[in-house]
Structure 1
Amino acid sequence: MSLLVWVLMLPVFGIFLLLFVPSWNHKLILSTALQVSLITFFISLLLWIQFDSSTSLFQFTESFTLVEHTVKQPQYSTLSFIVGIDGISLFFIILTTFLIPVCILVGWTSIKVYVKEYCIAFLLLETLIIAVFSVLDLLLFYVFFESVLIPMFLIIGVWGSRERKIRAAYQFFLYTLFGSVLMLLALLLIYFQTGTTDLQILYTTQFSETRQILLWLAFFASFAVKVPMVPVHIWLPEAHVEAPTAGSVILAGILLKLGTYGFLRFSIPMFPYASIYFTPLVYTLSIIAIIYTSLTTLRQVDLKKIIAYSSVAHMNFVTIGLFSLNAQGIVGSILLMISHGLVSPALFLLVGVLYDRHKTRLLRYYAGCGRTMPLFGIIFLFFTMANISLPGTSSFIGEFLVLTGAFQSNSFVALMAATGMVLGAAYALWLCNRVIYGVAKPYYISTFSDISRKEFFMFLPFIIAVIWMGFLPEPFLDVLHCSVANILQHGVIQ
């Protein structure tokens, strides 16, 4: 078996192990889940070490036949479980395996009920997300793409922090499921035209212009909800506020990337004519989302909602880069997705640190945290700077390339997107100023301790990764170039 199959199956093995651990032994449950997730992470790093960046072909491929075409059963075509990765999916798999141990660590003391089920939900989520990024069959992609909803629905609904968690869980589930129904119909149309759902064959298949437009719209309905784009973004702030800290970490870090990954993997290479045709639509929706959600962020009073709305703005910045349809824009979008997968989870972890100590996320209760929590203040300031793409942090490289690509495609769109950067700096710096600086409020209890050693070592890998990407992006760029060129060469996109 290839390394990729090991990465895919290890969390399943961890779930099997947890079934035999007594439910009352919380420490053993958490340590078992943590060890399995860390082993998975280190094996995923081996994928990067052994990855050949000089080719655009899928690597570490494995194929398992699920349904085989026979003379006795002519109505069935061959359905194979094919997995493989290129430079694009490699980093999303590593990001997934990096964040799952963090999610388990976050729940070490805060999760008191159903601890075994909590760990099983995150290990199952890990397997499903890795499958989404590695499977090379359109039908199986759809299956795993939708299956991710189930553990996330439970994480929000069972371990959420407030009374509205059930409503938020259903809202998240129904919004994302509704959009995907159209994608299923499109998938059936593709199957009946081509007789296959193998992605590598579909890349070489030509669809008529009318059919491309219909299929692109159906896929867009599914992926736009996941990004999320305006006006189907309402579920995201609600889900973030009600989810536990670990749920917000994985939601911001990985699940928001599924929509943009879908655009990159399917919509752009399979329907190139429709992608060019609908580029003005995507640009318009993205600019509206960037400006509207940035202005909305300025008037939020809940710490989690501020970061959630800023995530919408950042992900719509990504879609502008993707639909610039040139190498700079697409590479910048991928780097920005990876950076957002580091910075946004770190900010949610920082909000979780405050919530664990003060039991509130309302902004008006916080001021002068830098006096009583100096180390927390420094880390919060660092990730605020990373969130506004300060040069030297990971987001700067991505946003610079996105704007370069967008300017080549449409200079007006690049100008409007840049206004989102100004508004982003406004809400991020204002938030940092109100939380860290100033005079402590009369009801602010000043005896709470700074971040613990465990919390510091949880933030340290995020800090190292953000600085590494900011100062030395070449290892990431080298892996991405061939894969992005391969995406662009399909169809009429040059």
Structure 2
Amino acid sequence: MSYLATLLLLPLVGSGLVFAWRNSSSKHLALAIAFIQMFLAFYMLSNFDFGPTVDSRLQYEIQYPWFQFINSTLHFGIDGMSMLLVILTNILVPLIILSSYNENKPYNNNFYALILLMQFGLIGVFTALDGLLFYIFWEVTLIPIWLIAGVWGQEDKRIKFTTKFFVYTFVGSLFMLLGFIYVYNYSASFAVTDMYNAALNLNQQTVIFWFIFFAFAVKLPVFPFHTWQPDTYTYSPTQGSMLLSGIMLKMAVYGVLRYLLPITPLAIGGISGDIVVILAVVGVIYGALIAIVNNDSKRIIAYSSLSHVGLMVAGIFASAILTVRLANPASLVIEGAEGALVQTFAHGINVVGLFYCADILYKRFKTRDIRQMGGLAKIAPKFAILFMIILLGSMAVPLTNGFIGEFILLKSVFDYNLIMGVLSGLTVILCAVYMLRLYGKAMFGKTDDMLLSTAKDLSTAEFSVLASLSVFVILMGIFPQVIIEMVGSSLKFIFLSMIS
């Protein structure tokens, strides 16, 4: 069995084993499987060829006949872009499992089995090279996260908001499927490269663009398709919020780059691309402003995620629009996509850390209202330090993981349009305001001394998770070029496909 087949099937088999393991030690089995998966992913990374040539972009390829009557195959493979997201997934899943070690969840074997099942779906999304296969794995990820959020979520409102999330995402997915089927009628195959070469005029591409983009806009989310996000992030269990924000929304970033850009370049070069940039920049400002005035720690992080994702989308489409309009293979404008992938990895690390910090605050103060917190720094110095490191990464401070990606994204938007660039640049100031407000209220504000008397510093599991994430915040800030080199040839192929 190939390495990629093992990487795909191990979490699926592990999910079944954990589901059958009906006792309190199921979390140890789930964690062991997740760590094995992580080591396998890093082993594959160590043997990956990041050569600059386009011909070297696909490795660990698997291809078997499947639905031959519609020319759909079980086709999987990894290029630099896929590898980046596979690594992110397999770093975060064991940390997400470890983050729940201090909790006694009902039906805990089912909880951990669903996390592993979601990991299976995520790996499938990031490695599928067939449109129909991509759609199937996209839907596979929806079921476990819906159950995780609905069954183990907080407060009675979770059912209402989880159902809203499911309906939004499912309807969006159906539009994506319709778009893929339309392309199939002109490509006669669901293979990625055949879908790229479908002969479609501007009007056809525009219709397909909005069908497929709707699915990705809901998942990211992009303003104004974001209304499910704050409530779902808030009322999901912490691990559900981590999965949704840290990994699941990256499926849409990947989908935009892998499918939307090369299938509908004429639409992107027209007014559709400009509309998306405007919506994304509105999301940057809107998310940041709502985060500033909010007092719920999880909602602050949810709206900050909306703001950061808006900048990623703006950067990607700014580069795509310039590439299509220049139409010069010798001068591809891929910087925005590079910055988005760097920021995708950084955001995954940071937002998982922030949601875990919010969970730790909730456990100490028994509330998510930052106005009722304060003074924790003198009781929990280890937590104060690690929380600050993750906070600095989210604020894009130089030498942290958020800096280079955000810098490249802002440059890309400036190159596209000065006004859009200036508005996007406000995120640097606004992010500092709401993040420092969150930290200042929780760690240095005044609170009930009786409440603080029972608070403790980090447990072993809490320290392990936050310290691991902090290491990535620092390493990525020092060595961002590793990611840029990893994804370079993949992005060149995708952007060449847009103008060829």
| 1:37-186 equivalences in 2 (<5 Å) | 37-54=34-51, 55-56=53-54, 57-68=57-68, 76-186=69-179
SS state at 1:66 partner:
strand
Partner Cα separation in structure 2 for residue 182 and residue 20 of structure 1: 36
Quote how far apart the aligned CAs of 1:19 are: 4.4
Are residue 320 (structure 1) and residue 320 (structure 2) matched?
no
In the alignment, is the contact (CA less than 8 A) between 2:186 and 2:198 conserved in 1?
no
Partner Cα separation in structure 2 for residue 39 and residue 307 of structure 1: 30
Partner Cα separation in structure 2 for residue 431 and residue 384 of structure 1: 10
Q: Which residue of 1 aligns with 2:338?
A: 331
In the alignment, is the contact (CA less than 8 A) between 1:333 and 1:398 conserved in 2?
yes
The answer to which of 358-367 and 201-210 deviates more is 201-210
Partner Cα separation in structure 1 for residue 70 and residue 484 of structure 2: 39
In the alignment, is the contact (CA less than 8 A) between 1:267 and 1:275 conserved in 2?
no
Task: Decide whether aligned partners of structure 1 residues 111 and 192 sit closer, same or farther in structure 2, where only a CA change above 3 A counts.
Answer: farther
Partner Cα separation in structure 2 for residue 476 and residue 2 of structure 1: 25
* % identical equivalent positions: 32
For residue 471 of structure 1, the aligned residue among 466, 473, 478 is 478
Partner Cα separation in structure 1 for residue 32 and residue 170 of structure 2: 33
Q: Which residue of 2 aligns with 1:384?
A: 391
Quote how far apart the aligned CAs of 1:178 are: 1.7
Partner Cα separation in structure 1 for residue 409 and residue 472 of structure 2: 20
Whichever residue aligns with residue 215 of structure 1, its letter is I
RMSD between aligned alpha carbons? 1.4
SS state at 2:318 partner:
coil
For residue 463 of structure 2, the aligned residue among 456, 476, 486 is 456
Q: Which residue of 1 aligns with 2:328?
A: none
Q: Which residue of 2 aligns with 1:9?
A: 9
Q: Which residue of 2 aligns with 1:72?
A: none
Q: Which residue of 2 aligns with 1:394?
A: 401
Q: Which residue of 2 aligns with 1:211?
A: 204
Q: Which residue of 1 aligns with 2:322?
A: none
Quote how far apart the aligned CAs of 1:106 are: 2.0
**Given the two structures, how large is their TM-score scaled by the length of structure 1?**
0.95
Task: Decide whether aligned partners of structure 1 residues 180 and 19 sit closer, same or farther in structure 2, where only a CA change above 3 A counts.
Answer: closer
Whichever residue aligns with residue 45 of structure 2, its letter is W
Q: Which runs of 5+ in 1 are unaligned?
A: 69-75
For residue 360 of structure 1, the aligned residue among 358, 367, 370 is 367
In the alignment, is the contact (CA less than 8 A) between 2:312 and 2:409 conserved in 1?
yes
For residue 356 of structure 2, the aligned residue among 349, 352, 355 is 349
**Given the two structures, how large is their TM-score scaled by the length of structure 2?**
0.94
Partner Cα separation in structure 2 for residue 19 and residue 410 of structure 1: 52
The answer to which of 249-258 and 312-321 deviates more is 249-258
Quote how far apart the aligned CAs of 1:429 are: 1.1
Q: Which residue of 1 aligns with 2:301?
A: 307
Whichever residue aligns with residue 273 of structure 1, its letter is L
The answer to which of 320-329 and 120-129 deviates more is 320-329
| 1:212-231 equivalences in 2 (<5 Å) | 212-231=205-224
Quote how far apart the aligned CAs of 1:81 are: 0.8
Q: Which residue of 1 aligns with 2:325?
A: none
In the alignment, is the contact (CA less than 8 A) between 1:365 and 1:444 conserved in 2?
no
The answer to which of 143-152 and 49-58 deviates more is 49-58
Deviations 1:12-43 (A, max 9, x none): 1212322442x2x212x111111111000110
In the alignment, is the contact (CA less than 8 A) between 1:216 and 1:274 conserved in 2?
yes
Quote how far apart the aligned CAs of 1:182 are: 1.7
Paired residue total: 483
Whichever residue aligns with residue 294 of structure 1, its letter is A
Deviations 1:34-56 (A, max 9, x none): 11110001101112111111143
Quote how far apart the aligned CAs of 1:370 are: 0.8
Partner Cα separation in structure 1 for residue 353 and residue 208 of structure 2: 37
Partner Cα separation in structure 2 for residue 399 and residue 11 of structure 1: 33
Q: Which runs of 5+ in 2 are unaligned?
A: 320-332
SS state at 2:40 partner:
helix
In the alignment, is the contact (CA less than 8 A) between 2:84 and 2:486 conserved in 1?
no
Partner Cα separation in structure 2 for residue 221 and residue 125 of structure 1: 22
In the alignment, is the contact (CA less than 8 A) between 1:156 and 1:168 conserved in 2?
no
In the alignment, is the contact (CA less than 8 A) between 2:205 and 2:264 conserved in 1?
yes
Partner Cα separation in structure 1 for residue 42 and residue 286 of structure 2: 38
Q: Which residue of 1 aligns with 2:417?
A: 410
SS state at 2:83 partner:
helix
Whichever residue aligns with residue 173 of structure 2, its letter is S
In the alignment, is the contact (CA less than 8 A) between 2:386 and 2:467 conserved in 1?
no
SS state at 1:230 partner:
coil
Partner Cα separation in structure 1 for residue 104 and residue 79 of structure 2: 37
Q: Which residue of 2 aligns with 1:31?
A: 28
Partner Cα separation in structure 2 for residue 113 and residue 231 of structure 1: 36
Whichever residue aligns with residue 412 of structure 2, its letter is G
Quote how far apart the aligned CAs of 1:59 are: 1.2
Partner Cα separation in structure 2 for residue 47 and residue 159 of structure 1: 34
Partner Cα separation in structure 2 for residue 478 and residue 64 of structure 1: 30
Partner Cα separation in structure 2 for residue 20 and residue 168 of structure 1: 30
